[in-house]
């Protein structure tokens, strides 16, 4: 089976999904440093052009971290529908930094050489600030990234203010994008308005991150 799924829990009520498998977290993920309300773990990763990009360089800006795997059907749902690209364009246009991170290990689903990953991103019309490669999984594990997609939001002070699912529709059906409550958009709109993030944590859904 190519994809292993993490359970999804709505913020106020548990929601079971038939056929959804619970991801058994590795000890390294269970001990992940990332915690909502605490400084986001620092990192530096190369983008698909081989240029280093550090979280520290974006201090003073709102930052979105999107874990992705183009071969995962849950990631495909949000890209094939145009949902992810629309979010990327909307919020980078408002000065937000959007970093798409791939933590698939060599030989695992979703891992590609940098030039191929660049081609795949372009073919999908992806519009993040940068596409970053994390083949050894160190950054993914430091955040406790479990699924693709798994979304994180860092505020202007460098504090992690959102960790979880992109929305409340844990399916691979593109039709579910419409009418979904998008937690990332909600968090970003609140931050831009100078408000605290009202839903700071949800349980992500999707394929397991293909760590080594």
**Eight-state DSSP code of residue 41:** P
What's the structural domain count of the chain?
A: 1
- Chain-centroid distance, C-alpha 199: 16
Q: Are 52 and 139 in contact (CB under 8 A)?
A: no
Question: Is residue 199 domain-resident?
Answer: yes
Q: Which of 111, 100, 103 is nearest to 140 (CA)?
A: 103
Is residue 5 in a domain? no
In a domain, 12, yes or no: no
Residues of the chain with pLDDT under 70: 1-33
- We report the CATH number of the domain holding residue 68 as 3.40.30.10
Whether residue 202 is contained in a domain is answered as yes
Domain that holds residue 185: 27-208
Buried b (16+ CB within 10 A) or exposed e, 118-151: bebbeebebbbbbbbbbbebebbbbbbbbbbbbb
């Amino acid at each position: 089976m190519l994809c292993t799924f993490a359970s999804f829990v709505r913020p106020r009520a548990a929601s079971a999904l038939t056929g959804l498998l619970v991801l058994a977290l590795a000890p390294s993920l269970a001990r992940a440093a990332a915690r909502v309300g605490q400084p986001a773990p620092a990192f530096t990763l190369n983008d698909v052009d081989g240029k280093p990009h550090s979280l520290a360089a974006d201090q003073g800006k709102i930052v979105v971290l999107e874990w992705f795997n183009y071969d995962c059907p849950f990631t495909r749902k949000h890209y094939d529908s145009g949902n992810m690209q629309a979010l990327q364009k909307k919020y980078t246009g408002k000065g937000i930094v959007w970093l798409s991170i791939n933590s698939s290990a060599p030989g695992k689903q979703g891992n590609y050489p940098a030039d191929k990953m660049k081609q795949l991103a372009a073919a999908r019309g992806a519009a993040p600030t940068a596409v970053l490669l994390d083949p050894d999984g160190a950054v993914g594990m430091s955040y406790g990234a479990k699924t693709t997609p798994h979304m994180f939001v860092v505020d202007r002070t460098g504090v992690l203010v959102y960790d979880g699912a992109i929305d409340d529709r844990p399916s691979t059906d593109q039709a579910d994008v419409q009418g979904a409550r998008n937690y990332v958009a909600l968090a970003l709109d609140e931050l831009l308005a100078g408000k605290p993030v009202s839903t700071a944590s949800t349980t992500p859904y999707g394929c397991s991150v293909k760590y080594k």
